[in-house]
Structure 1
Amino acid sequence: MTTAPATATVFGAVRLGYIVIETERFADWRRFGTDAIGMHHDSLSTDLMRFRLDDRECRFLLTRGPAEDVVATGWHIDDHTAFEQIEARIRAHGVPLVRGSDEEANLRGVERLLRFPGPKGITQEICTSPKSSAEPLRMLSSGFVTGDAGMGHVAITSTKPHLVRGYFNTVYDARLTDCIDETISGVKLKIRFLRVNERHHSIAVAAVRGLPIDPIRTRVQHLNIQAATLDDVARSYERVHELGFEMALAVGQHTNDKELSYYARTPSGFEWEVGWNPIVIDESTWVPSTHQGISIWGHLPVGQTIIDKLDQFRLGARSLAHPELTVPALSGAGIADD
């Protein structure tokens, strides 16, 4: 087997392909995913189900378990050369890799599945040759935007953002797209947006400035998917309300990627962003910058009470006693603040 040279970049050959969620709330998730958000649903067993956004067999795999959280992110790698380059990097840093079984790969609709530790305890999975389904889509949405840039993004909160950014730079050659400075209820946040292809970002990392606390219970703060039309966003927003699911942030537009979106709260507690029409990065002209505030307009909290805010501060204080899981061997010395 020929291994790509250590200096070769995998940027542009990596895309977010699927998400694995562990939950006991299968009935709620089915209603949320199909009836509210509008995705295609496949029930595989009493302990397994999948959602589709497009012709790919799997975009979200839900497995039964107590975590109520994202437990793995799957990255589709363009070709075997890039796949082997990433594998070689991980082995060179002494980080253990586990080869996925045929059954695990089939559940994800992929081939050549490898998994390894990731920031915040979210397992990273890389794969090749995602499979298409011959079954027509059955969903309320007219469609979702995936393609060469992959699907949406994952946002996390971290007490060690420099290590998280170092990790994604080491493993996937992620690039900094831009940053946002925001103050919420007197707490100053710095959010970094990382891209691995032309999508504005596939990973967002938020940190409380000056305080090593994490106010979010779940490993992820939110997931994002991109709707095909503005009408799809509006109709799913309406369905979320009508079906009684909690809305976290009302419709608004972001300052940096210009995406128009809303945030609903999933049955597992983390947030789910449905967005439309974010900008696409031109590598020949893009220069990172810092924006003040996350939104040009909108994205106002829905139904948040003082109790909710106290719970966040309580979670932040509790996080001091539970050090964040990192992968130092793949994070280098980290990347300094911008």
Structure 2
Amino acid sequence: MSTTSCVFGAVHLGYIVIETNRLSDWRRFGADAIGMHHDDVSHDLMRFRLDDQECRFLVRKGPAEDVVALGWHIDDHASFEQIEARIRAHGVPLVVGTVEEAQLRGVERLLRFPGPKGITQEIYTTPVKSAEPLRMAASGFVTGDSGMGHVAITSTRPTQLRGYFNTVFDARLTDYIDETISGVKLKIRFLRVNERHHSIAIAAVRGLPVDPVRTRVQHLNIQTATLDDVARSYQRVHELGFEMALSVGRHTNDKELSYYARTPSGFEWEVGWNPVVVDENTWQPSTHQGISIWGHTPVGRTIVDKLDQFRLAARSLTRRENTVPALSGTGIPDD
């Protein structure tokens, strides 16, 4: 089978798997604060919905306190088999998901394979739709052709991560952001696999091979249907006592208005509204200075938090980041 056909546009972020021992806190955070539809599956499994798809977040009991897998909805069987053929051609092992695993994720035809930073990548073709009406505090979330949002990852090897998503999904570079936080210079690469401005963001400390974040993901994002949904969920996060990471603000590159809450597992959760949709005929990558036009100021940061971050960064020097080399060496130049 040919491995050269482009799958860009047929790929959409479909679900996220989170592992935690704080299930009751996650239930309150996801349903009561963020406003998603919640379903208990068993005493150690729950799911959240954003739309008619049965599962958008699968939260399972376990010690990771992190995102452990990303599920990608592939539009058609030809594109699915194209991606499968690429992975096999690079000698990377694939595992067929069991019937039970597919049912938990609300999907059919599930395949999984290794991803950067230990985040398992899963692909599926057909999402299962739920007949049960949504019960949620939010009026709605934007999914569809754009997928369900995005994930941001910090990396000591950003070129290899960009190469990975290019090899597997034909990801395209949307733009860059240069940012300085507490004297540390960051470069952030934004990658898209469909019309959404980005489904993956990769942040790296410029000139230093350090990773200042404990978790595999720095944050994940979902998009609300209305500005009022952002404001109301922001208020609920505060009232229910969850930590806020960044106040409301608007980004320079995708123009999304959003805030960042801190999840019970420690990584951040961005709730946003109205990002730009990329026009493939006219879009050209560019570099923006700073992540925000206004707002997004840190909330509740202390000197102890900053010292912990420096310790984490120093510790990252002693361990090699897994980029799945067989899939990440695509000849993309350093940028």
Which one of 19, 23, 32 corresponds to residue 35 of structure 1? 32
Paired amino acid for 2:47 = R
TM-aligned CA deviation for residue 7 of structure 1: 1.8
TM-aligned CA deviation for residue 333 of structure 1: 4.5
Which one of 87, 92, 95 corresponds to residue 95 of structure 1? 92
Note if 1:303 corresponds to 2:276. Answer: no
Q: 1:23-81, CA deviations, whole angstroms, 9 ceiling, x for partnerless residues?
A: 01000000000110000000000111000000000000011100000000000000000
Paired amino acid for 1:38 = G
Q: Which runs of 5+ in 1 are unaligned?
A: none
**What TM-score do you get using the length of structure 2 for normalisation?**
0.99
The equivalent residue for 2:66 is: 69
Aligned-pair identity in percent equals: 83
The equivalent residue for 1:203 is: 200
CA distance in 2, matches of 1:66, 1:317: 23
The equivalent residue for 1:188 is: 185
Count of aligned positions: 335
The equivalent residue for 1:265 is: 262
TM-aligned CA deviation for residue 337 of structure 1: 3.0
The equivalent residue for 1:26 is: 23
**What TM-score do you get using the length of structure 1 for normalisation?**
0.98
CA distance in 2, matches of 1:127, 1:107: 13
Q: Which runs of 5+ in 2 are unaligned?
A: none
SS at match of 1:285: coil
Paired amino acid for 1:294 = I
- Residues 3-152 of structure 1: pairs in structure 2 closer than 5 A: 3=1, 5-152=2-149
Q: Contact (CA 8 Å) 1:224, 1:274: kept in 2 or not?
A: yes
TM-aligned CA deviation for residue 335 of structure 1: 2.4
Note if 1:155 corresponds to 2:152. Answer: yes
Which one of 240, 244, 249 corresponds to residue 247 of structure 1? 244
SS at match of 1:164: helix
Q: Contact (CA 8 Å) 2:173, 2:192: kept in 1 or not?
A: yes
TM-aligned CA deviation for residue 322 of structure 1: 1.5
Q: Contact (CA 8 Å) 2:21, 2:63: kept in 1 or not?
A: yes
Q: Contact (CA 8 Å) 2:142, 2:225: kept in 1 or not?
A: yes
CA distance in 2, matches of 1:206, 1:324: 14
Q: Contact (CA 8 Å) 1:167, 1:334: kept in 2 or not?
A: no
SS at match of 1:192: strand
The equivalent residue for 2:314 is: 317
Deviates more, 1:65-74 or 1:322-331: 322-331
SS at match of 1:275: strand
Runs of 4+ displaced beyond 3 Å: none
